[in-house]
Structure 1
Amino acid sequence: MNRTYTSIFIFLFIVIFSVTGYGFDKFPTLENRYFGERPPGITPKLFAPKVLSPDDLFEDGTFSPDMKSFYFTRKNGKYKKRAFFVIHYEKNQWGEIYETDLKWPLFSIDGNTMYLGKKYSERTKTGWSKPKEMGDFLKEQAHGLSVSAKGTFYFPFFKKEDDGHGNIGYSRLISGKYEEPKKLGPDINQGNYIAHPYIAPDESYLMWDVERDENHGSSQPDIYISFKESDGSWGQAINMGNEINTSIYEQSPRVSPNGKYLFLFVVSG
């Protein structure tokens, strides 16, 4: 049986984290930072549906660190293949949406490095440099990539000895080279389809999506969170509750660059 899926982006105010928006005090004042949306409370709401998903074609998106650009994708309907878009904030207003060759860009906290899959570009006086290879440490990377303020990468990866079971791990930059990925503990790496981690800029918490028996939806991913303990270990994986996790498909948690809002990608059938 064919099913039609509606993709939406939701956001909510963060009240459970103690987070700092890195460099947020240097951001220009943007009266319309969230496309004119009234910021929500702790109950999720659709994010800018009239702008981003007027025909229910929106898939996923992310802000640049200065929140002057929003990159997103659309698929289904007239888009037989996934299409990539960007919209920029210029002259005190959001401009026109147009297609871009940039696919799922990820930015460093300072905005001077842009990661594109397993390559990266650096900001120069004349624009972005030509893409460079990230290195072999990402050779087994699966779905999702996140980087902390000090440049440590968190991502899911697959090892032959794990019999196809994915694991979230991390890789630190040591003496100018990224180390081999190290798996996080079994409390985090439990369940099926472990994917899309988000690491806090200061690495104080980690969010990800995974299918577990205790999830709110049958055979659907839920969002989990773990906080870093004072000894550097990761605490218990916590299901983020029925306000965030429902009977439908939630994935790809991330926090706005100012540290105030949580965004989720949701698919309903």
Structure 2
Amino acid sequence: MLKTTYCFLIATGSIFATSSIMAKEIATELQGPYLGQTPPGKTAKVFAPDLLSTQKDREYTISFTPDLKELYFTRMDADTNKWWTMTYKQRNNRWYGSILAPRVGRPTLSPDGNTLHLGNKYIGRTDNGWSQVKSLGPMFDNKDWGIMRLSSSSSGTYILDDYKNGDVLRISEVQNGVRQAPKPLPAHINTGKWNAHPFIAPDDSYIIWDGERTEGFGDTDLYISFRKSDGSWGKALNLGPTVNTGAGEAGGYISPDGKYFFFNRTTNTGNGDIYWIDSKFIKTLKSQVYTKD
């Protein structure tokens, strides 16, 4: 990987920037997919070390557009303790980085790449970049709820967390064109000390989230539940030592091409980086579940 010295400039103006006030883009020398990084194998490794994942700051929650030419993530500046939403964009096979805006929620792109979910808010793709921050409506703007991360599938299903009410996960589906009120996922999902930061597969076939349970690997672990043929959710499966360690793993995400699993790992020193690993282990887990069933 070519290491590039770079500096991000802070966006000004409204709380979320449109293209007219977006921070200046800084060019890198990186080319090719996934910031020109060498793909991982069966062992998780830091994604874009010393560039996207830094030794000093804390990086979290990565998300890609379907064509893999844009990525979004969050970074906490270690000097100011302020969170920012960051982006890299590829043009003519070269990557450009910038700060998009102060963080609002944990950014997660919709499968079509046209909506960037921000907790109970979102921004939509426009001809000039992104819209201003919008509300998802009264169904999600409940002040008694605490939504950190909301993930959507291609069918419009939402999976969201709620840190104000026992750290539970909720689901909101679209039935006959009508958005349904979020309801808690079953008890075998919402168990343990807490559950948060969910991700739903574009085809609704599984959900991934992080939580803390007594049978875990020591701190926050990542879990998966596969959807059964009758629409119900299967048991919560720990992703195992392939991903989970004695450190804190969270913020799971599958790349749009299905090839890689991204997640955050935070050590006991408080530093957090984004890791990636070949996603084939998830197919293995699924085959084991259906073999047993």
Q: TM-score, normalised by structure 2?
A: 0.72
How far apart are the structure 1 equivalents of 2:121 and 2:41? 37
Amino acid at match of 1:239: N
How far is the alpha carbon of 1:126 from its aligned partner? 4.4
Residues 73 and 128 (structure 1 numbering): CA distance in 2 closer, same or farther, change over 3 Å? closer
Amino acid at match of 2:85: F
Cross-structure match for 1:238: 237
Cross-structure match for 2:180: 179
How far apart are the structure 2 equivalents of 1:84 and 1:112? 17
SS of match in other structure, 1:98: strand
Cross-structure match for 2:228: 229
User: Does the aligned pair in 2 maintain the 1:253–1:265 contact within 8 Å?
Assistant: yes
Cross-structure match for 1:203: 204
How far apart are the structure 1 equivalents of 2:91 and 2:146? 35
Could you report, residue by residue, the CA deviation over 1:82-115 in whole angstroms, capped at 9, with x for unpaired residues? 23322211121112x2221263432221222333
User: Does the aligned pair in 1 maintain the 2:118–2:150 contact within 8 Å?
Assistant: no
Residues 239 and 146 (structure 1 numbering): CA distance in 2 closer, same or farther, change over 3 Å? same
Cross-structure match for 2:48: 48
SS of match in other structure, 1:226: strand
State how 1:129-140 maps to structure 2 within 5 Å. Answer: 129-138=131-140, 139=142, 140=145
User: Does the aligned pair in 2 maintain the 1:148–1:200 contact within 8 Å?
Assistant: yes
SS of match in other structure, 1:35: helix
Cross-structure match for 2:216: 215
Cross-structure match for 1:192: 193
Cross-structure match for 2:88: 87
User: Does the aligned pair in 2 maintain the 1:208–1:253 contact within 8 Å?
Assistant: yes
SS of match in other structure, 1:188: coil
How far apart are the structure 2 equivalents of 1:240 and 1:124? 37
Residues 231 and 260 (structure 1 numbering): CA distance in 2 closer, same or farther, change over 3 Å? same
Could you report, residue by residue, the CA deviation over 1:173-204 in whole angstroms, capped at 9, with x for unpaired residues? 34554221111111111111210111111111
How far is the alpha carbon of 1:215 from its aligned partner? 0.3
Identical amino acids, percent of aligned pairs: 40
Cross-structure match for 1:152: 157
Unaligned runs of 5+ in 1: 1-29
Cross-structure match for 1:33: 33
Most deviating of 73-82 and 59-68 = 73-82
How far is the alpha carbon of 1:121 from its aligned partner? 3.4
User: Does the aligned pair in 1 maintain the 2:199–2:253 contact within 8 Å?
Assistant: yes
Could you report, residue by residue, the CA deviation over 1:42-88 in whole angstroms, capped at 9, with x for unpaired residues? 21111111211343314113223322122222224334322332221
Amino acid at match of 1:106: T
User: Does the aligned pair in 1 maintain the 2:167–2:194 contact within 8 Å?
Assistant: yes
Amino acid at match of 1:207: I
How far apart are the structure 1 equivalents of 2:176 and 2:135? 17
How far apart are the structure 1 equivalents of 2:116 and 2:122? 6
Cross-structure match for 2:119: 117
Unaligned runs of 5+ in 2: 1-29, 269-293
How far apart are the structure 1 equivalents of 2:157 and 2:102? 23
User: Does the aligned pair in 2 maintain the 1:59–1:72 contact within 8 Å?
Assistant: yes
How far apart are the structure 2 equivalents of 1:133 and 1:54? 32
Cross-structure match for 2:99: 99
User: Does the aligned pair in 1 maintain the 2:196–2:211 contact within 8 Å?
Assistant: yes
Residues 177 and 78 (structure 1 numbering): CA distance in 2 closer, same or farther, change over 3 Å? same
Could you report, residue by residue, the CA deviation over 1:116-163 in whole angstroms, capped at 9, with x for unpaired residues? 33233333444434443211222224332110111110012368xxxx
SS of match in other structure, 2:82: strand
How far apart are the structure 2 equivalents of 1:147 and 1:102? 22
How far is the alpha carbon of 1:231 from its aligned partner? 1.3
How far apart are the structure 1 equivalents of 2:136 and 2:123? 10
Residues 233 and 257 (structure 1 numbering): CA distance in 2 closer, same or farther, change over 3 Å? same
Amino acid at match of 1:137: M
